[in-house]
Chain A
């Protein structure tokens, strides 16, 4: 009834090209943003921030990054957590070496450094494809974790081998360190997510995104029509790593505050991010958010229902959590292999016609 394009005429190219061509979508989006920026910060507490919102936002960035690479350019990577570690250690080194540097500059630079590293590890993609490439990226994962663990310079020779975030302030408000308020953490992440989401959306509908998709769909054909596979693949790796590096830097500095590389950036997180991409929907910006939300919220929800709600022993609940997560993933893939984004698109399609089916 509400969701339709009838009467929504475009009178300029600009209007025709906008991100949300349907008015209802547009309104919906801005209402969501208003809620996220204007309402949530006033109600958020430590639990909601640290258990739900901040990890969701950070993983949404990482998922966006991997989706650019896997969903848009067709290169499967299992090294995401390793690249997150690069971002985290880069931000740590930058923050401790240049204490005066603005936090957002640090985050951007960390992303840049990760982009360089990611490009280097993307080189084999020029030769290797499919699962072989996926497994090859595990080399990056294991090597990077080993490196950060082995070379004391990365953790400033501290006796513990862990890195802890120093306290940083902006406008007199702490934004990293233990005194950071829940709403500050949330807002810092939200702002970055908003900007990066906007950039990603526009990248994918521009020239570079189209060249990625051409490579994904058929690399030979893409080459024939003039897409340079070297540039397309490496730029995908670079930009994807940039996003993932930023996610890693935030993961360390805003979310956890102290990390040990093997534990926080282990292979589990690489798989988790890939899950998010696929559950959300390959090649979809909205899907990246939906996938991250699903996989962050689901375990928390299950745990609260099983342990808090039903009062089961925590170990039984944890085993069941694994089983339910596994079963849900399988069911999702069976019901809609193209992820939550496709489900949403199908729903929208139905909404357009509702309540008259024809």
Chain B
């Protein structure tokens, strides 16, 4: 096979896996949008906050140390212990549940029945708050995150695919990042778990009932507010997973909040209400933007990925205004 073709395949594979990383973020959006109709802009910041908390717990950092030191003139920074990764993940999950509870208690409760744009704005307010809060709690410096996931290109795949091209051509085997592979596995497990949860547990069915029709769900005795806490907790957990994956890649720092911007075109394409849509959308966006950068990028100067993802989603939308898997928007006249 010609090297050029193999390069394209390599770009495509990597695009698919980058897409999985986008999907991880998009999943959280979809969960919340389905259950409560809230377009949760704070999802990216939640991922940042979860990752910060995870690193903080693992390293035994004292939360709010800077504030405490500034107010009381002390100099405390660390507890001096290290929590193993799994324990820290469990603790962080607990923190995210508390967070979900607080969001419901302090914000959503008061905004039931408001217009979608108002709810959207409220989550932007929440995002602002969390940006400041996360930094205040754990500090704004960059933190390395290592929960023991393998990193780096897989030599095995490289060696076992190098024969695909003729001897002497400039092809070195496929490059597959081990972290991407683990992210893909995690995403698969996550989606299966979410599906099982929503299909086979009572809570899961209640979630789906709420997603279908708030009023009908209320009338059969499902507590809307409890369901919202559960949804936000699950979204918080998804944010934690996304935070771990992205944080392992780049270190945990403020820019993690921007991954929300990579998830938006995925959402548009897949539809705001569909979990499979988030996955398929992610794959299409990841693949599309990487292939565009590969084929067209060099001709027009590169760095096209940011806007091309949106343009791609836009093109799809023109043909299907509710996204690939979104619910058809039915309007009463």
Contacts and interface: CB of A to CB of B under 8 A. Distances in A.
Direct contact of A and B (CB under 8 A): yes
A128 B318 contact: yes
B67 interface: yes
A278 interface: yes
Interface stretch (A109-117, A132-140, A168-176, A234-242): A132-140
B173 interface: no
Interface in B281-321: 300-301, 303-304, 306-307, 310-311, 313-314, 317-318, 321
Max count, chain B CB within 10 A of own CB: residue among A124, A129, A267, A323: A323
A319 B127 contact: no
A142 B306 contact: yes
B321 A135 contact: no
B110 interface: yes
A135 B268 contact: yes
A323 B129 contact: yes
Given A130-B116, A136-B268, A334-B111, A329 B121 contact: yes
B213 interface: no
Contact of B303 (A127, A128, A146): A146
Interface string B124-151: 1111111111011000100000000000
A136 B317 contact: yes
Contacts of B323: 132
B333 interface: yes
B11 to A, nearest CB: 20
Interface in A127-157: 127-132, 135-136, 138-139, 142-143, 145-146, 150
A132 B321 contact: yes
A333 B67 contact: no
Interface in A273-331: 274-275, 278, 282, 312-313, 315-316, 318-330
A131 B126 contact: no
A221 B333 contact: yes
Nearest to B107: A330
Contacts of A334: 107, 110-111, 122
A271 interface: yes
Nearest to A329: B125
Contacts of A271: 124
Nearest to B306: A142
Main secondary structure of the interface of A (DSSP, over half): helix
A150 B118 contact: no
Contacts of B306: 142, 146
Nearest to A219: B331
A326 B110 contact: no
Nearest to A143: B307
A296 to B, nearest CB: 16
Contacts of B268: 132, 135-136
Contacts of B307: 139, 142-143, 145-146
B114 A131 contact: no
A326 B126 contact: yes
A14 B323 CA distance: 50
Assign chain A's interface to a size class: 35 or more
A323 B121 contact: no
Max count, chain A CB within 10 A of own CB: residue among B131, B272, B306, B314: B314
A316 B136 CA distance: 7
A132 B129 contact: no
B99 interface: no
Contact of A330 (B126, B136, B264, B304): B126
Nearest to A121: B314
B34 interface: no
A139 B107 contact: no
Nearest to B135: A319
Nearest to A320: B132
Contacts of B303: 146, 150
B39 interface: yes
Nearest to A323: B132
A76 interface: yes
Given A76-B117, A132-B323, A278-B118, A330 B129 contact: yes
A6 interface: no
B261 to A, nearest CB: 7
Max count, chain B CB within 10 A of own CB: residue among A128, A313, A319: A319
A199 interface: no
A329 B311 CA distance: 31
Contacts of A131: 39, 116, 120, 272
Contacts of B321: 127-129, 132
19 contacts: A129-B329, A131-B116, A132-B322, A136-B313, A138-B264, A138-B265, A146-B307, A275-B121, A278-B117, A278-B121, A316-B67, A319-B140, A320-B132, A322-B132, A322-B135, A326-B127, A328-B125, A329-B122, A330-B107
In the A-B complex, list the 4 residue pairs whose CB atoms are closest, starting with the nearest.
A322-B132, A326-B129, A326-B128, A329-B125
Interface of B: 39, 66-67, 70, 107, 110-111, 114-118, 120-122, 124-133, 135-136, 140, 261, 264-265, 267-268, 272, 300-301, 303-304, 306-307, 310-311, 313-314, 317-318, 321-323, 329, 331, 333
